């Protein structure tokens, strides 16, 4: 979730809460290592629980939500030029989630 999504969800549960409180608590949870930043091209930073297994993200253009994608592209090694050593990769899918695609 982005900070504004956390803010909206917190407001539904807690009622009155300020965006500064959301940012302050996100910072605390990041510092504690409980949260990690999800940085996607052209997107505001999002936050997810730290320590999850390898996964990617799907950005929905309809509702602006970001979903986890558990599978990974299988032919990334073939994309790597001969003699190069790939150390990490990012895969981001954009489109419409099942709800928005209806
Ligand atoms: Zn959607
Ligand atoms: Zn992957």
- Residues 2-60: tens digit of each pLDDT: 999 999 999 999 999 999 999 999 999 999 999 999 999 989 999 999 999 999 999 99
Does the pTM exceed 0.75? yes
**Which ligand has the minimum distance to the alpha carbon of residue 88?**
2
Determine how β-strand 46-49 pairs with β-strand 35-38: antiparallel
**Which ligand has the minimum distance to the alpha carbon of residue 67?**
1
Given a contact cutoff of 8 angstroms between Cβ atoms, the answer to whether 61 and 96 are in contact is: yes
The domains found in the chain, sorted by start residue, are 1-50 (1.10.10.10), 53-102 (3.30.1490.190)
- From residue 95, give the alpha-carbon distance in Å to each of 19, 52, 85, 86, 102: 29, 23, 30, 27, 13
CA-based torsion, 51, 55, 59, 63: positive or negative: negative
pLDDT value of position 38: 95
Q: Where are the alpha helices (DSSP H) in 2-87?
A: 3-14, 19-31, 76-79
- Cβ contacts of 79 within 8 Å, gap of 6 or more: none
The rounded Å distance from CA 80 to ligand 2 centre is 14
pLDDT value of position 89: 92
pLDDT exceeds 90 at position 73? no
pLDDT value of position 92: 94
**Which ligand has the minimum distance to the alpha carbon of residue 55?**
2
- Residue 76 pLDDT grade (very low, low, confident, very high; cuts 50, 70, 90): confident
pLDDT value of position 78: 87
pLDDT value of position 18: 93
The rounded Å distance from CA 73 to ligand 2 centre is 6
What mean pLDDT comes out for the span 58-75? Answer: 92
pLDDT exceeds 90 at position 83? yes
């Amino acid at each position: 979730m982005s900070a504004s999504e956390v803010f909206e969800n917190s407001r539904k549960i807690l009622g009155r809460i300020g965006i500064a409180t959301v940012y302050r608590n996100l910072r605390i949870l990041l510092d504690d290592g409980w949260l990690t930043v999800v940085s996607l091209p052209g997107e505001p930073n999002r936050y997810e629980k730290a320590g999850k297994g390898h996964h990617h993200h799907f950005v929905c253009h309809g509702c602006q939500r970001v979903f986890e994608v558990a599978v990974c592209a299988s032919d990334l090694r073939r994309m790597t030029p001969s003699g190069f050593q790939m150390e990490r990769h990012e895969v981001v899918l954009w489109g419409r989630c099942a709800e928005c695609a209806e």
